[in-house]
Amino acid sequence: MVRRNEAVTASFHFFAREHKAEGAKPRRVPFKPEEFDALAASLQRRPTIILSNARDKESLQFRQVVPIEQVVRVDPRTVFGVFKAAYWGHSYENSHRGEIPADSISLRPFHFLVYLSESGRLYIGSQYLGQFGGYTGLSRTLTSLLPDPESINAHSYRLPASYYREAQAKEVRVSISKNSGDIARPNVFQSGATIGFKKQEKNDGFEKAVADALLSLVGQPQAVVRSAVARLLRENELFAAEDKDIDDCTVVALVNGKRKVIHMIETGQFATRFPLDVQLNQKGHPMYEPTKTEMIKVLRNEIISRSEDV
């Protein structure tokens, strides 16, 4: 059965190359179309990673490279494909395979794109599914395929809190690390370790309260956001949570008339994650063509339009 899942997101980043000479300011050197052509060709002929090979396994464990596959040249400036992020380090039980040992490697597929802008920047889009993703390994792999990798600086694209100034919050969802019976309000629900509260009436002040308490903190350190979330729950008699118990917080809001899920806490992730309106296949992963269309649309509408002179 094909399903829609709002947890499909993508982060965006860019590579800029600078040459530094002693006593002089760094000189920006744009990436050339022929360099992009070479990168695209390298991605299309990436060797197969063999999990039984000790060297391949080690490179995956330390995120030196990621497997790359299904690469297509969308146009002269855009490449799209699939990379696989490695997860390992702890054992767990599986209903089909029994206990999976700690030293085994699991690979999860994610989509990516690379775009060469007119200004000579390389933009990278990296897809996430829920909290899972693998931009770090993807970034290292792309850097290793480019000439003069030591001169490349990677930047993450993050929307400022001001972008959400006019957002109209409709719902707040908070994930906590332990259950509690201290739920006092009728508009609160709990499913496992998730608490949510929604706008109830037209003039209940919900949008302003969320904007002041949470959306104004977009981009702030996790400790600041967790403290604000815990305080919001306590002040509204929703839940007596400590800062450390807050695992995640998302705000469902209308931004410029479109429904978006805003991730307030992004562990190990410093780039804004943009929601992708895509469906999942039978294996629970985003479908290739719709994801390609969505990521290119976000790149053009949300990133290039703000970063480049177009």
Closest to 248 measured CA to CA, from 135, 159, 169, 131:
131
Least confident of 34-38, 83-87, 230-234, 277-281: 230-234
Question: Is residue 268 included in any domain, yes or no?
Answer: no
The span from the CA of 108 to the CA of 22, in Å, is 44
User: Rounded to the nearest 10 degrees, what angle do helices 222-235 and 206-213 cross at?
Assistant: 140
pLDDT digits (tens, 9 = 90+) for 69-91: 999 999 999 999 999 988 777 77
Q: What is the DSSP string of 213-237?
A: HTGGGTTS-HHHHHHHHHHHHHHTT
Question: Could you tell me if 95 and 56 lie in one domain?
Answer: yes
Question: Could you tell me if 11 and 151 lie in one domain?
Answer: yes
Q: Which two tokens stand for residue 76?
A: 């002269």
What is the model's pLDDT at position 179? 45
Question: Could you tell me if 181 and 136 lie in one domain?
Answer: no
Question: Could you tell me if 253 and 232 lie in one domain?
Answer: yes
The span from the CA of 100 to the CA of 104, in Å, is 7
**24: domain range?**
3-157+277-307
pLDDT digits (tens, 9 = 90+) for 118-143: 999 999 999 999 878 889 889 999 99
Q: What is the DSSP string of 239-254?
A: ----GGGEEEEEEEEE
Question: Could you tell me if 99 and 189 lie in one domain?
Answer: no
Question: Is residue 271 included in any domain, yes or no?
Answer: no
Q: Residue 30 — very low, low, confident or very high, per pLDDT cuts 50/70/90? A: very high
User: What phi-psi label fits residue 237: left (phi over 0), alpha (psi between -120 and 50 degrees) or beta?
Assistant: left
What is the model's pLDDT at position 162? 62
Question: Could you tell me if 24 and 151 lie in one domain?
Answer: yes
Question: Could you tell me if 136 and 182 lie in one domain?
Answer: no
Number of independent structural domains in the chain: 2
The span from the CA of 105 to the CA of 20, in Å, is 40
Question: Is residue 251 included in any domain, yes or no?
Answer: yes
Mean pLDDT of 197-209: 77
Question: Could you tell me if 135 and 258 lie in one domain?
Answer: no
pLDDT at 163 over 90: no
Mean pLDDT of 154-165: 74
Question: Could you tell me if 176 and 244 lie in one domain?
Answer: yes
Question: Is residue 272 included in any domain, yes or no?
Answer: no
- How large a percentage of the chain has pLDDT more than 90? 28
Q: Which two tokens stand for residue 94?
A: 């599986």
Closest to 238 measured CA to CA, from 274, 210, 219:
210
State the CB neighbour count (10 A cutoff) for residue 31: 20
φ, ψ at 243 (rounded to 5°) = -55, -45
Name residue 176's beta-bridge partners: 246
pLDDT at 2 over 60: no
Question: Is residue 231 included in any domain, yes or no?
Answer: yes
State the CB neighbour count (10 A cutoff) for residue 277: 16
Question: Could you tell me if 149 and 289 lie in one domain?
Answer: yes
Query: Burial code of 255-264, b = ≥16 C-beta within 10 A, e = fewer?
Result: beeeebbbbb
The span from the CA of 61 to the CA of 63, in Å, is 6
Is residue 3 within 8 Å of 15, Cβ to Cβ? no
Question: Could you tell me if 15 and 55 lie in one domain?
Answer: yes
Question: Is residue 269 included in any domain, yes or no?
Answer: no
Question: Could you tell me if 42 and 99 lie in one domain?
Answer: yes
The span from the CA of 160 to the CA of 168, in Å, is 16
Q: Specify the amino acid at residue 106.
A: S
Torsional sign, CA 20, 24, 28, 32: negative
Question: Is residue 109 included in any domain, yes or no?
Answer: yes
Question: Is residue 217 included in any domain, yes or no?
Answer: yes
